[in-house]
Amino acid sequence: MADSLYPQQRLVIDDTLYTYTAAPGSVDKGVIKLNGRNMDIYGKEGPNKGRHIPVIYKYENGQLTICYDLADLKYPTEFETKSSPLYFLSIFKRSN
């Protein structure tokens, strides 16, 4: 697997706040709430402002895997996107 298809993307989580930078000048900020293996993302600034995005996540070996339901309908049940065209899967590696 390649290190990253999008090397400029960066996710920073600080307690319950997140900042996601997709590219220079494209920043999304908001709040996350954890509930077991589910996470609720609430966009406060940027392209997802005012949106709620239900996701499932797992953190293993310094790697965060997130499956988003961009339609804001329900939490995905698996870490795959075949079941819905509006599911999106992201994998982030922890930087030191």
Quick check: 14 and 5 in contact, CB under 8 A? Answer: no
Quick check: 2 and 18 in contact, CB under 8 A? Answer: no
Q: Which residues, listed in sequence order, are joined to residue 26 by a DSSP beta bridge? A: 23
Q: How confident is the model at residue 2 (pLDDT cuts 50, 70, 90)?
A: very low
Q: Which pTM does this prediction carry?
A: 0.84
Average pLDDT, the chain: 89
**In the chain, what are the domain boundaries?**
10-93
Q: How far is CA 86 from the centre of its chain?
A: 13
Give pLDDT tens digits for 49-85: 999 999 999 999 999 999 999 998 899 999 999 888 8
CB atoms within 10 A of CB 17: 12
Residue 39 one-letter amino acid: M
